[in-house]
Structure 1
Amino acid sequence: MLPNPRTQVKRLPQRASYDAQQVYDILDEALICHLGFAVEGQPFVIPTAYGRLEDQLYIHGSPASRMLRTLDRGVDVCLTVTLLDGLVLARSAFHHSMNYRSVVLFGTATRVDDPTEKLMALKAFTDHVVPGRWAEVRPPNPQELAGTLVLGLPIAEASAKVRTGPPIDAPEDYALPVWAGEIPLQQTAAAPVADEQCLPQLEVPDYAATYRRHSQR
């Protein structure tokens, strides 16, 4: 993935990565993206879930969705994802920071009409949220498929940005009697809670009982 004027990281460029696999890894771990676009000059940023299949990102929803109808017209979109890994406490207020992994992706979305690709996209979406879930549930019927708009966004113009490690203080501040370091943060899952209308003989599946995001496995 080669940087271009849109994807080139200008602020702290040493934290940038244009490696496709690193971009994929961050996208695969996150659950929510934010989509930025404009409608008649009015800017919008909308959070939504997504799924990835190789070098294509998929979003879906109702054909009545203003966001999807707008993106379906081929407008430019900026998609962002952020994983927060820790709070970085420095000796000075100025140098406090956060450890994070993020992706910024630019492009235009394309409607997915092919039934096979549409099903594959919905499977990618479902298994992105809970790996293994698609194989157990009822797949969409023709009416549900017709009532779902799926858009694909190529992962071509993208960059990642990552910060890790301890605070970076001014040299003269290291002698200050102030604690400094990192407070690591993780997104963890609590114990599954069964729907009261589940059939009584059903046990909690392993993928729910042991649910973890990628960095926790």
Structure 2
Amino acid sequence: MPPSAPSPRSRIRRLPERAHYDAATVAAIVDAAMICTVAFQIDGMVHAIPTIHWREGDHLYIHGAKASRMLKALTEGEACVTIALADGLVLARSAMHHSMNYRSVVIYGRFELVTDPAHKLGSLRAFVDGLYPGRWDTLRPITDKELNATGLLRIALSEAAAKVRDWGVKDDAEDLDWPVWAGVIPLHTVAGEPMTEADSVVEEVPLTRFD
């Protein structure tokens, strides 16, 4: 029997057949995306801010300036983190049956501040190397001042729900003979041509997660 929703607020009610609550599916979608949107409140006002993220184990991490109002608010109240990836355009024989293949995750909870310097340094390294494998060791070492000025937060993935559509066209039987193309057009993120800075002392382009 598939896992049930970890909480009432994370249970998917609209199209529940697309719901996935297992940790592996949630983690895979978190890993596949580079940007999440974090929703929270400050003084009764709701904000939703897109920010880069990464995952280590059972937590999603974000970072920012230590003085950030967002980071302060996230440690004082509940948050909702959303991720969405578009995987394909689904073209049907009728306008109402057009759709999109996608993967999404919604995470509920409260962020916690990571203060241990070794933990912070290791997490930032994981963040950089996750985008550019092996790059951390080639960089000018981070200073204590830079590390201290950086706020690092994490939220557990224990209260999360994934929603996925990954199939083809679902047309009405009476529309199957309609003379128009039907099918799925896949969507992919690809790296473009690198643009080397004129004053870069190294011309060799490093590897990225897209290679």
Length-normalised TM-score, structure 1: 0.90
Write the letter of the residue equivalent to 2:100.
Answer: M
Match of 1:25 in 2: 28
- Runs of 5+ consecutive residues of structure 2 not aligned to the other structure: none
Match of 1:170 in 2: 172
Match of 1:14 in 2: 17
RMSD (Å) for aligned C-alpha atoms: 1.6
Match of 2:136 in 1: 134
Offset at residue 203 of structure 1 (A): 2.0
Give the share of equivalent positions with the same residue, in percent: 47
Whole-angstrom CA distance in 1 between matches of 2:188 and 2:179: 29
Match of 2:101 in 1: 99
Count of matched residue pairs: 208
Offset at residue 29 of structure 1 (A): 1.1
Whole-angstrom CA distance in 1 between matches of 2:135 and 2:124: 12
Offset at residue 150 of structure 1 (A): 0.6
Runs of 4+ in 1 over 4 A off after TM superposition: none
Q: Secondary structure at the match of 1:126?
A: helix
Determine if contact 1:51/1:126 at 8 Å carries over to the other structure: no
Match of 2:147 in 1: 145
Whole-angstrom CA distance in 1 between matches of 2:73 and 2:18: 33
Match of 1:63 in 2: 66
Match of 1:203 in 2: 204
Write the letter of the residue equivalent to 1:18.
Answer: Y
Matched, 1:160 2:157: no
Match of 1:181 in 2: 183
Offset at residue 138 of structure 1 (A): 2.4
**For 1:116-157, what per-residue CA distance to the aligned partner results, in whole angstroms no more than 9, with x for missing partners?**
111122122212332322232223210001111111111110
Match of 1:117 in 2: 119
Q: Secondary structure at the match of 2:28?
A: helix
Match of 2:81 in 1: 79
- Runs of 5+ consecutive residues of structure 1 not aligned to the other structure: none
Q: Secondary structure at the match of 1:94?
A: helix
Length-normalised TM-score, structure 2: 0.92
Change over 3 Å in CA distance of 1:89–1:41 after alignment to 2: same
